[in-house]
Amino acid sequence: MKKIIFALILCSFSILSYSQTSVSGVVTYYFNEYQGNKPDLGASVTLIDSAKVKNFDYKLYEKFYYGKFYQKMYFSSLERYEKYSAAYKKTEGKKKMAEQSETFKKGMEDAQKDMERHMKELVKYDSETPEKAAKISTELYMQLLKLDDDLPKKTVDANGNYSLNAKPGVYYVLIKSKNRTGSYDILESDGKIYIKKVKISENDNKDVSYNFEL
């Protein structure tokens, strides 16, 4: 009986010793409207330990990410405003088209409100002008360029999977796409990026997956 108990205890210690704290996930990219998302084969995933890279400015990435998002939203609203504005000018003052004219006018007003709301967010993330957005992008590019080459890194496989072992702590998971690039700045000219801040506990398996869109 004692031997059985001892064996069970030994087995428990063995399992605990081999328990791994890790970050893993699936990385995909949007291919087209017919085939949808595909595994981002060749994408890279880098694990940045905040305890070792103490000067990493994650807020800089947030400014870049949300600035880019609200820029897209702003210009989409602007395009909508211009569309309704053109239609409103053609129907304004015409009695037979009074109902349509009112619809176009409301469309303009709604688009204007959306633009104002998105602009407030752009100001919040210091991206209200192309110059400010470019400055943030350049600063983030320089920060990533200074990262050590020996940081834990994995390449995404043919199924879109990756896995990295890690000790408990706070990390920044940097994913760089292989198949989806940006066309507006040097930062993403050879691959779009995504960074997520995660806190990992003992024996914790954290999932950080991402899909790169157009």
- The domain boundary, picked from 146, 175, 201, lies at 146
Q: What is the pLDDT of residue 95?
A: 85
- The pLDDT assigned to 17 comes to 43
155 occurs within a structural domain? yes
pLDDT computed for residue 184 by the predictor = 63
Question: Does one domain contain both 129 and 74?
Answer: yes
pLDDT of residue 7: 44
Q: For the segment 84-120, what is each residue's pLDDT rounded down to a tens digit?
A: 999 999 999 888 899 999 999 999 999 999 999 999 9
Note whether 160 and 96 are same-domain residues.
no
Does 153 share its domain with 138?
A: no
Position 20 confidence tier, pLDDT thresholds 50, 70, 90: confident
Contact, 139 vs 131, CB < 8 A?
Answer: no
Does one domain contain both 76 and 115? yes
Q: Which of 146, 172, 202 is the last residue in one of the domains?
A: 146
Say whether 31 sits in a helix, a strand or coil: strand
User: If residue 40 lies in a helix (H) or strand (E), which one and from where to where?
Assistant: none
Residue 116: domain span = 57-146
Please report whether residue 33 resides in a domain. yes
Task: Please give the model's pTM, rounded to 2 decimal places.
Answer: 0.83
**Structure-token pair, residue 161:** 């999977």
Please report the pLDDT score of residue 199 as a whole number.
Answer: 96
Residues 129 and 156 in one domain: no
pLDDT of residue 63: 97
Of 116, 146, 176, the one marking the end of a domain is 146
Q: Are 133 and 85 part of one and the same domain? A: yes
Evaluate whether residue 24 is within a structural domain. Answer: yes
Q: Is residue 1 part of a domain?
A: no
The CATH code of the domain that includes 47 is 2.60.40.10
Q: 27-37 burial, b if ≥16 CB within 10 A, otherwise e?
A: bbbbeeeeeee
If asked whether residues 183 and 118 sit together in one domain, one would say no
The answer, yes or no, to whether residue 6 has pLDDT greater than 60, is no
| Cβ proximity of 191 and 183 under 8 Å | no
Q: Say if residue 2's pLDDT is above 60.
A: no
Does 134 reside within a domain? Answer: yes
